[in-house]
Structure 1
């Protein structure tokens, strides 16, 4: 059997560990193609080198292991269109698609607020922090809310564009959205779906992911035979926020994570490998007959780090509004990009 898995955000700690676990958990005799995505060629090559190195040191797959890369920026609609065109040229099908988009517009940390929260409640401070400073009103070059487009609308458009030509060609295609534990309904205002007025745009984007999944999974299955699941990785060390931490604050953060876990938090996985547990379960083991697509599947662990799956409910309030907004916006961009399709084909033909 030949399986193809496309992982967005492959260079992240979570993206790499999803790839590592695919090497271990896809039957070793199967041919496996891993398609990495990045905004730059050096980062794409770096991700492939790391995955190859892991296979040589740990997985030792017997079947053929191959790689491809796609350069794509989910905050750029033309880039998304170009990526889809490249995928259609070079692949007959995609079996697994992991939507691991996690862009923020962070500006730093409010250290005074962080100190207060940690002293008052270290578990809450490390689970639902309010001390991360995020810029407000940041737009992409396409004129959309940057975090809204990069984390939700861009990936949604990508899935819709890949549904018929590639995903539907798989005998059992899976789309796995990576949400977050930080996706409370209170983090999203329906008067600001593009998150341009929000100072918690990252968290709001993950609440949108939850609602978008609920609004689309049935339609994807009816039209294209695609099974879609919603997951989250819990809390783990992420590369995206390292620039705001020095060695002292980094190890302080790690200590706080371990304390939270000892105090009974199931979500402080810390390890990227453990964080990838739920996405891999949804991809390789979940079945709609006994694993509801209405739920969110979270990576969890015990106090000593033993991983397990924790399933939670998702508040569906507002999913119909989100469905309509995204459908209307997709139609607008279909119209805006209709001439770009032929231009993109010409660019690639001439290159």
Structure 2
């Protein structure tokens, strides 16, 4: 159980429409991530599913039952927030079992469920500690454990890792991925971090201005973006986009040379990801540029070049690079990895 369906869901605050007719099918046991820039409506949409925000129009169904008018307590969902919201005077065991206690569950049942959640999350040694004696990552695991003991139809996560430092975020991404593999429950997760989305999701829902820009697997969104917004939002560093003209089976870059291409007569821009560009001598490839900045990251180096009227272009180079600022280079674009977009930003 745990299939969730949104039918033309809308959210209005007075005259302001925040969610603009969203249709979405989330399958049982699926890990779906809502991603997008600040203000795109991803948290609002999650809260509508959870019943914390009223759905102005449309319908929300859980396992085929219309729950649009039901309060959160009747939906069988469990939510993990950005804030841990733990009771500071209670132990980990009491925090995790509190919802069951208030529901009148027997003590033996509460203990068994808390012990099982603690085993899954590796919290057994911490059950008698209080929140102040734990790290941020441990507190977030307790907050997740509090949700697990309720055995919900689905888990809703609202940016649960944003309060953690970089190393803890990596650790908790692993913990959440393992949790999904273990529980096989439906999970809906909101984040602005596209790295979290790419590494955790079965499918990603990219939101832009209250609309769904594209839904697909991480690979589909990375390799076949439906529009310019998705192309530049998914991927780090983002896709390079260059103005171009297409005519007679060839494309020409503004201020550059270009190359052969077929079937993209409506294109006004071409995109190429940093790893799909090679550096050569000046005069080679689609255009020339001047090395501006080198960012050495160990396994990779990002070479940022100044391409004149086309602006800055980022190239991913494996390992170190012998280039230096002010060197002149040629950019060789992989012809099989180019993405063309029309004047409306749609992929062509």
What's the TM-score once normalised by structure 2's chain length?
0.28
Q: 1 or 2, which has the higher strand percentage?
A: 2
Give the structure with higher Rg (CA). Answer: 2
Q: 1 or 2, which has the higher helix percentage?
A: 1
